[in-house]
Amino acid sequence: MKQLHTLDFIVFFFYFIVVAGYGYWIYQRKKSKETSTKDFFLAEGSLTWWAIGASLIASNISAEQFIGMSGNGFSIGLGISTYEWMAAATLIVVAVFFMPIYLKNHIFTMPQFLNDRYHPAVSLIMAIFWLGLYILVNLTSILYLGALAVSGISGIDFYVCMWGLAIFAIIITIGGMKVIGFTDVIQVLFLIIGGLATTYLAVNLVSDPSQSISDSLSGLFEGFKNMRASHDDHFHMIMSKESPHYFQLPGLSVLVGGMWIVNLNYWGCNQYITQRALGADLKTARRGILFAAFLKLLMPVIVTLPGIAAYALYSKGMFQQEMLGADGMLNADKAYPVLLNLLPAGLKGLSFAALTAAVVASLAGKANSISTIFTLDIFKHYFGKNASEKKLVLIGRIVIVGSMILAIIVSPYMGIDKKGGFQFIQEMTGLLSPGILATFLMGFFWKKTNSAGAFFAIVGGFLIALWLNFNMAQIPFLDRMGMVFLICVAVMFVLGMVMPSHNKGLEIKVEMFKVDRTFGIGMVIVLSLVVALYAYFW
């Protein structure tokens, strides 16, 4: 039943008022610093470790997880959670090795790193690539999938939902990173509570589909036990070559291959993510990232398990019509919206708010990063060298609105619904990830790396990935990414050896990578949990 009840609207509007009201209060409280670009784009020195960690997760978890990853949970199973659990391990690597380099060398944007380490032309090319990726892949998919879910739950017109989500995100984004960072704490709270409520009730329903919804703990454990016993194939992290899902998750590549490229690029070389920590000191940034790593371990319970529960119920004869797409074929991305429509009044509103929170927080974070790159790395550098801080902030706000409108216009034509939302984002991003990561890692740790090598990795890596995508499509895309990465590193090494480097190196000392005791304990716990989870669900 695609209908929200009065209680659902009350819960949802409570969420809206709390987030918008808190954001407005933060904005008014910090209004005296409004015209500072570092304050607007980075919230320099203002975000606490818990705000950084919450903002990282709120910006990361969006419609592609709630809808796309739940859809993959339906079709593949727990294995898709490798994107979440490997991310927890990756965040530790980023906190220990990447953040000290950025902060010690006063790096505030990713194109700035490329400019300082290599050449302005390398920085400009990469800035353009990033803007294209963020607008045409990320913003479009978040808006499209978010509107699809909200429309499916509420019955409100798809395009009305899309515009509504965009406007809500703009309201938050134009307040700057400080407003985004602190409102993300509330967004994560709704996201986790609402997400866990959906999971709890969905797994409970598996234990006895004949009843409406059980609320007992025994039903929860019975439901999970039922899922494990009846659908063991949905509880393996490492796919064998015989698995029909090997192409998406090619065996050990998720542990030692392309999955590291996906995650290191996303969490360590991505303005959208690193921006949250770049305005803090190293201790605060590291603890925020560690907090995000702990939250990452929880995410599969919220975004994957509901999809598996939906599959278990579907296998028992439920949702036979509801899971069909417009073409009459099974559409796994409908799993999460279908589950939400089973929830009772009130809880449905809470889960609706959780989904909206995930979408809006991601839109806000992505739009802010688009604005940051365009304003500081393109406009200021090439068109407004003498522009005042106030004008730069104004340009940033205009870019936020413009990018959101452009994403709305092009999103229906991007083919997001063809492969499933989550897979679409991973494969499109994967065209750039190997070259970007090679450029950053070689730039960090090998002084002979030069601009020619960086140019090859960014442009050549993209072209090679594109060629492989069309001519070697039978190879899993994670393995293709690994191949491109190795090619980029090899060519960068050769060019560094045969051509002189006139580029500025970075200030890197071994002691930069030392961690304090509290972080060290947290790091060991996170990595131990990741190992335990893979061992148990191998």
- Predicted confidence at residue 419, as pLDDT, reads 57
pLDDT of residue 385 exceeding 60: yes
Average pLDDT of the residues in 100-111: 86
pLDDT of residue 469 exceeding 80: yes
- Predicted confidence at residue 527, as pLDDT, reads 97
The residues spanned by each domain of the chain are 6-235+251-380
Least confident of 87-96, 221-230, 489-498: 221-230
Alpha helices in 231-346 (DSSP H): 253-256, 258-268, 271-274, 282-303, 305-315, 335-340
Tens digit of pLDDT for each residue in 253-268? 889 888 999 999 989 9
Average pLDDT of the residues in 428-454: 91
- Predicted confidence at residue 68, as pLDDT, reads 79
DSSP 190-229: HHHHHHHHHHHHHHHHHH-TTSS----HHHHHHHHHHHHH
Q: Would you place residue 1 in the very low, low, confident or very high pLDDT band (cuts 50, 70, 90)?
A: very low
- Predicted confidence at residue 151, as pLDDT, reads 82
Is residue 430 within 8 Å of residue 262, measured between CB atoms? yes
Class of domain 6-235+251-380: mainly alpha
Q: Would you place residue 222 in the very low, low, confident or very high pLDDT band (cuts 50, 70, 90)?
A: confident
Q: Would you place residue 413 in the very low, low, confident or very high pLDDT band (cuts 50, 70, 90)?
A: confident
Instruction: Name 198's bridge partners.
Output: none
Angle at CA of residue 55, ends 532 and 178, nearest 5° = 160
Mean pLDDT of the chain: 84
Is residue 304 within 8 Å of residue 69, measured between CB atoms? yes
Structure tokens at 1: 């039943």
Tens digit of pLDDT for each residue in 64-85? 777 778 888 999 999 999 999 9
Q: 210 or 134, which is more confident? A: 134
- Predicted confidence at residue 422, as pLDDT, reads 67
Q: Would you place residue 343 in the very low, low, confident or very high pLDDT band (cuts 50, 70, 90)?
A: confident
- Predicted confidence at residue 37, as pLDDT, reads 63
Tens digit of pLDDT for each residue in 252-309? 888 988 899 999 998 998 876 777 777 788 999 999 999 999 999 999 999 899 999 9
- Predicted confidence at residue 41, as pLDDT, reads 62
Q: Which residue reads 């002189």 in tokens?
A: 500
Average pLDDT of the residues in 178-185: 72
Most confident of the ranges 56-60, 106-110, 396-400:
396-400
The pTM of this model reads 0.85
Instruction: Name 100's bridge partners.
Output: none
pLDDT of residue 214 exceeding 70: no
Q: Percentage of residues in the chain with pLDDT exceeding 70?
A: 91
- Predicted confidence at residue 308, as pLDDT, reads 93
Q: 13 or 37, which is more confident? A: 13
pLDDT of residue 225 exceeding 60: yes
Report the distance separating Cα 100 and Cα 50, nearest Å: 19
Q: Would you place residue 154 in the very low, low, confident or very high pLDDT band (cuts 50, 70, 90)?
A: confident
Report the distance separating Cα 308 and Cα 481, nearest Å: 28
Residue 175's nearest CA partner among 367, 404, 11 is: 367
- Predicted confidence at residue 142, as pLDDT, reads 86
- Predicted confidence at residue 290, as pLDDT, reads 95
**Distance between terminal CA atoms of the chain?**
38
pLDDT of residue 213 exceeding 60: no
The 10 Å Cβ neighbour count of residue 320 is 9
Q: What distance lies between CA 338 and its chain's CA centroid?
A: 23
Instruction: Name 324's bridge partners.
Output: 330
Q: Which residue reads 């413009």 in tokens?
A: 402
Report the distance separating Cα 161 and Cα 93, nearest Å: 38
